Structure 1
Amino acid sequence: MSSNRLKRIKDHILSENQCSGMATPEGSPLTTHVLNTAEGVPGSHMALSLHRLDTGLAVWSLLSMGITNDDGRCTGLITREAFTPGMYKMRFETGEYWEHRGQKCFYPYVEVVFTITDSTKKFHVPLLLSCFSYTTYRGS
């Protein structure tokens, strides 16, 4: 059985209100919400991962993985203690998402790279998605 399939099974068992990341939804300083704008529904059950750039090695380190809940949200990606200033990347597995919906897409994945300078604030990174386009912004 593939590791991706095992991951999906594990996340299915977890609470729908929490991602499989390291933090509880209430304490997470970083959240995301995926919206399928083509169909007007939440981007539910989409795999994603959070990475941080290790500037000394110039490589991305995997911090956590999760799957959006039924509402398209993933909140428990990182703890307040682990959330430090630096460059981060969220990778959304959009190709798998569309394939499970029986559709083809142009972008097999979406990576959103952003810089955190003040890690005491909360950050929300929404992804608005269709088969052939995507948009993101810093939400509140």
Structure 2
Amino acid sequence: MIKVLDAVRGIPAAKLSIKVYKQKEDKSWELLSTRVTAEDGEVHDLVKEEDFVEGVYKLELGTKRFWSKVGISPFHEYVDVVFPANDAGHRHYTIAVLLTPYSFSTTALVSEPIETHT
């Protein structure tokens, strides 16, 4: 899951485009999915569980278009968050991003998946 907050207006960053890429062996990037944040600034299920295997991933946030929609001219065309995943077995990732037109900050919570019993 990813959660994005607009630090200028103090609200969730709704309708922000996010692309998910996986790095291939030749170091190029393969696009896995494109999503848009909901009104709460969140996107769940960015990648299908079976496709989220060990590797390096990149989240590309379409920040220029996001800020332009509210009349702000940003410094960044987009923001990339690049991270290794599942190198120690399958994990659940929650990534939080705090955005302004001229800066960004990220943090991650990496945890064991929660099994549900039906």
SS at match of 2:65: helix
Q: Is the 8 A contact 1:95 1:104 kept in 2?
A: yes
SS at match of 2:98: strand
Q: CA RMSD in A?
A: 1.1
Which residue matches 2:107? 137
How much has 1:108 moved relative to structure 2?
1.2
Q: Percent identity?
A: 28
Query: Measured at CA, do residues 64 and 74 of structure 1 come closer, stay the same or move farther in structure 2, by a change above 3 Å?
Result: same
Matches within 5 A, 1:1-140: 31-55=1-25, 57-116=26-85, 117-139=87-109
TM-score (norm 2): 0.88
Give CA-to-partner distance per residue, 1:83-117, whole Å, 9 cap, x none: 10000000000000000011111111000000011
Q: Which protein has the bigger strand share? A: 2
Q: After TM superposition, which residue ranges in structure 1, 4 or more long, deviate above 4 angstroms?
A: none
SS at match of 1:139: strand
Give CA-to-partner distance per residue, 1:63-86, whole Å, 9 cap, x none: 000000000001121111111000
**Counterparts of 1:119 and 1:36, CA distance in 2:** 33
Unaligned runs of 5+ in 1: 1-30
Q: Which protein has the bigger helix share? A: 1
Between the two proteins, the alignment pairs up a number of residues equal to 109
How much has 1:119 moved relative to structure 2?
4.7
**Counterparts of 1:139 and 1:43, CA distance in 2:** 19
Unaligned runs of 5+ in 2: 111-118
